[in-house]
Amino acid sequence: MIKSRLVEIIVDLLRSPIGPALVLLGGALVQLIAGRWMRRPAWLTGLALFFVAASGMLWLGLRFQEVVPVYSRPWQPLLQNGANLLWIGDGWNWYISGLILVLGGAGILLELNNRRQLAVAQNRDRIHTNLAIHLSVLAGALLFVGSGNLLTAILTWVIMDLFILVRSAARMDLAQGLDARTQLQQSQAKGLSLLGALLLLIALLPAGPTGPGQAFQDGVLPLETVALMLAAAAIRAGLYPFHLWLLPTDRDHVNLSERLLDHMVPVLSGLWLMGWTMGLGAEVIL
C-alpha cells in the first residue's frame, strides 16, 4: 500500500510541470555517479542526451493533458505571509521550455565535437561533472520559465544563477590563453545576473503581502514592482547596456556550444520574464 502510494506520487510529479526539470536533475545525479567508471565522452554525452530526450517527452505530454497542468505547494517563510509556489505547464511557459530543451540538447551535442577538436584529454575526468552541470542549468531554466507567480520566479532565478555561476567557473578553468585581466572582467560580468535576482527581491517590497502570490496570468502588481521586474528581465535577456555577461570566453574562436548553453538558454529565460512583465503593464513604463 505504501509502495503504491509512493509510485502514484512519483508519477504525479513526473506528469506535472516540474516533471521535465526533475528528470534533468536526476540525469545530473546519474552523470556524477556513472562518470566515476565511464570515461568515454561519447557515452557520457549520449547518457546526458537520453535524459534531455526523456525530459522532452514529459514536456510534450503536458500538451495532451485534459486540463492545464499546474503544480502548487505552500511556502511559509519566517515573519512573512505565506504564498504558494506555482508552476504552470501551458502557453508561454510551455513554448519557452521546449526551446530551452532543444537548444540545451544541441549545445550538449556540439560540446562533444568541441572537446574532440580542442583535444581536452587531460580534462577527461571532468567531463561527467561538466555534463551534470549542464543538465542542472537546464533544469533550473525549466523551473524558472515554468513559474506562475513572482515568488516562484525569484526562488528559481536564484537556483538557476547558482548553477550558471558554477558552470562559468568551470569554463574559466578550462579556458586557455586568457590573461588575468580578461578573466577578471568576465567574472565581474557574470555578477550582472545576480543583480537581476536582487532587483526581483527588492520588487517584493512594493508588492505588499499578497504580491508574491499574484499569478502572472491575471495578477495585479504595483508599477514599482513591474519596473523592477522589467529591469531584471532586461539584464537576463542581455539587452543593451546589460550585455556584458554575453561576452565569450574566447574572442578568437566561436564556440557554438558555449553560445547555446551559456548564452541562449539564459537569454530565453529573460525574454520569458519580459513577456510576462509586459502583460502586467510594463508597456506603460516604456
What is the reported pLDDT for 125? 58
How far is 220 from 258, CA to CA, in rounded Å?
38
| DSSP helix/strand/coil, 228 | helix
* pLDDT tens readout for residues 216-245: 877 777 788 888 888 888 888 877 777 666
Q: Per-residue pLDDT tens for 138-193?
A: 999 999 999 988 888 888 988 888 888 787 776 655 555 455 545 555 565 566 66
- The grid coordinates of residue 168 equal 562559468
Enter the DSSP assignment of 247: -
Burial of 245 (0-12, 13-18, 19+ CB in 10 A): buried
User: Would you list the DSSP string of 84-152?
Assistant: EEEEE-STHHHHHHHHHHHHHHHHHHHHHHHHHHHT-GGGGGGHHHHHHHHHHHHHHHHHHHTB-BHHH
Is 205 or 267 the better-scoring residue by pLDDT?
Answer: 267
Distance CA 83, CA 91 (A): 23
d(CA 154, CA 143): 11
Q: How far apart are CA 269 and CA 167, in angstroms?
A: 17
Q: How far apart are CA 38 and CA 286, in angstroms?
A: 53
Report the distance separating Cα 20 and Cα 54, nearest Å: 8
For residues 120-125, average pLDDT: 50
**Range with the lowest mean pLDDT among 122-126, 205-209, 237-241, 250-254?**
122-126
Pick from 72, 94, 68, 104: nearest CA to 85: 72
**Rg of the chain's alpha carbons, rounded to an integer?**
19
pLDDT of residue 120: 47
Q: What is the mean pLDDT of residues 184-207?
A: 69
- The shares of helix, strand and coil residues in the chain, as percent rounded to the nearest 5, are 70, 5, 25
Question: Which residues, at least 6 apart from 173, have a Cβ–Cβ distance to it below 8 Å?
Answer: none
User: d(Cα 60, Cα 50) in Å, to the nearest integer?
Assistant: 15
Give 32's pLDDT tier (boundaries 50, 70, 90): confident
Structure confidence at residue 94 (pLDDT): 92
In whole angstroms, give the CA distance from residue 75 to residue 81.
Answer: 9
Q: Looking at residue 122, what is its pLDDT?
A: 46
Mean pLDDT in residue range 243-265: 71
Residue 53 has pLDDT above 80, yes or no: yes
The whole-number pLDDT of residue 170 equals 67
How does residue 250 score in pLDDT terms, banded at 50, 70 and 90?
low
From the DSSP assignment, how many helices (H) and strands (E) are in the chain? 11, 2
In this prediction, residue 124 carries a pLDDT of 56
**CA 157/CA 276 separation, integer angstroms:** 15
